[in-house]
Chain A
Amino acid sequence: MRPDSETPFFFGADGGLFGMFHAPALPARRAMLMCPPLGQDLIRCHRVYRQLAQALAAQGVAVLRFDYHGTGDSAGASVEVDWDRCVADTVLAAAELRTRGGVDRVVAFGARLGGSIALAAAGQARFAEVIAWDPVLDGGDYVAALDAMQVALRQDGERFNAPRSHADVAAQWLGFDVGDGLRRQLAALRVDATEAPTLVLDSMPASSGARWERIVTARGRVATIAPPTPWNDLRRLEAAILSPPLIQAVTGRLKEIA
Chain B
Amino acid sequence: MSEEAHRFGRGRHLVGIAGVPSGTRGETGVIVLNAGLVHRIGPFRLHVELTRQLNEAGYPTLRFDLSTLGDSTATGGGQTRAQQVCADLDDAMNLLTERAGCERFVLVGLCAGAQNAHIVAARDPRVSGAVFLDGYAYRTLGYKLRHYLPRIVDPARWARVLRRRAGGGSGEARAAAEPIFAVAPAPREEVIADFTGMVSRGMKLYLVYSGGISTHFNHARQFRECFGKVMTHPSVTTRYVHETDHTYILTGDRARLLDGIGGWLTRNFPLATAGRHA
Give the chain A neighbours of B126 by CB distance below 8 A: none
Q: How far is the CB of B142 from chain A (nearest CB, A)?
A: 17
Of chain A, the residue at the smallest CB distance from B73 is: A3
| Contact A161 B214, beta carbon cutoff 8 Å | yes
| Contact A4 B7, beta carbon cutoff 8 Å | yes
Give the chain B neighbours of A160 by CB distance below 8 A: 211-212, 243-245
| Contact B3 A10, beta carbon cutoff 8 Å | yes
| Contact B3 A175, beta carbon cutoff 8 Å | no
Give the number of residues in B that approach A within 8 Å (Cβ atoms).
Answer: 43
A151 at the interface (CB under 8 A from B): no
A25 to B255, CA, bound (A): 43
A159 to B37, CA, bound (A): 19
A15 at the interface (CB under 8 A from B): yes
Give the chain B neighbours of A158 by CB distance below 8 A: 177
B152 at the interface (CB under 8 A from A): no
Indicate with 1 or 0, residue by residue over A211-236, a CB within 8 angstroms of chain B CB atoms.
00000000000000000000001011
| Contact A153 B5, beta carbon cutoff 8 Å | no
Of chain A, the residue at the smallest CB distance from B174 is: A158
List the one stretch of A162-170, A181-189, A200-208 in contact with chain B.
A162-170
A239 at the interface (CB under 8 A from B): yes
| Contact A6 B71, beta carbon cutoff 8 Å | yes
Q: How far is the CB of A227 from chain B (nearest CB, A)?
A: 14
| Contact A72 B245, beta carbon cutoff 8 Å | no
Indicate with 1 or 0, residue by residue over A190-209, a CB within 8 angstroms of chain B CB atoms.
00000000000000000000
| Contact B7 A3, beta carbon cutoff 8 Å | yes
A164 to B212, CA, bound (A): 13
Give the chain B neighbours of A8 by CB distance below 8 A: 5-7, 15, 17, 71
| Contact B45 A161, beta carbon cutoff 8 Å | no
B11 at the interface (CB under 8 A from A): yes
| Contact A236 B5, beta carbon cutoff 8 Å | no
| Contact A9 B5, beta carbon cutoff 8 Å | yes
Give the chain B neighbours of A77 by CB distance below 8 A: 49
Of chain B, the residue at the smallest CB distance from A20 is: B71
Give the chain A neighbours of B48 by CB distance below 8 A: 72-73
| Contact B251 A172, beta carbon cutoff 8 Å | yes
Q: Say whether, besides A40-B44, A168-B250, A235-B177, A159 and B245 are in contact (CB < 8 Å).
A: yes
B252 at the interface (CB under 8 A from A): yes
Give the chain B neighbours of A172 by CB distance below 8 A: 250-251
| Contact A235 B211, beta carbon cutoff 8 Å | no
Of chain B, the residue at the smallest CB distance from A234 is: B177
| Contact B243 A161, beta carbon cutoff 8 Å | yes
Of chain A, the residue at the smallest CB distance from B16 is: A8
Within 8 A of A (CB), among B16-49: 17, 37-41, 43-45, 48-49
B116 at the interface (CB under 8 A from A): no
Within 8 A of A (CB), among B148-192: 173, 176-178, 180
A247 at the interface (CB under 8 A from B): no
Of chain A, the residue at the smallest CB distance from B244 is: A160
Q: Say whether, besides A4-B7, A161-B242, A73 and B40 are in contact (CB < 8 Å).
A: yes
Give the chain B neighbours of A75 by CB distance below 8 A: 2-3
B278 at the interface (CB under 8 A from A): no
B13 at the interface (CB under 8 A from A): yes
Give the chain A neighbours of B176 by CB distance below 8 A: 233, 235-236
A46 at the interface (CB under 8 A from B): yes
- The residue from B12, B39, B178, B253 contacting A3, defined by CB atoms under 8 A apart: B12
A7 at the interface (CB under 8 A from B): yes
Within 8 A of A (CB), among B199-257: 211-212, 214, 242-247, 249-253
Q: How far is the CB of B176 from chain A (nearest CB, A)?
A: 5
| Contact A10 B2, beta carbon cutoff 8 Å | yes
Q: Which residues of A contact B (CB under 8 A)?
A: 1, 3-4, 6-10, 15-16, 18, 20, 40, 43, 46-47, 50, 71-73, 75, 77-78, 153, 158-162, 164, 168-169, 172, 174-177, 233, 235-236, 238-240
Given contacts A168-B252, A235-B177, 16 further A-B contacts (CB under 8 A): A3-B12, A3-B73, A7-B7, A8-B71, A10-B4, A40-B44, A46-B39, A47-B39, A71-B45, A72-B48, A153-B249, A159-B212, A159-B245, A168-B250, A168-B253, A240-B37
Interface CB pairs A-B, < 8 A, 12: A1-B73, A3-B11, A15-B2, A43-B41, A43-B43, A73-B40, A73-B48, A160-B244, A161-B242, A164-B243, A175-B43, A240-B37
Q: Which residues of B contact A (CB under 8 A)?
A: 2-7, 11-13, 15, 17, 37-41, 43-45, 48-49, 70-71, 73, 173, 176-178, 180, 211-212, 214, 242-247, 249-253
Q: 7 closest A-B pairs (Cβ-Cβ)?
A: A175-B44, A8-B5, A159-B245, A161-B211, A175-B249, A235-B177, A3-B13
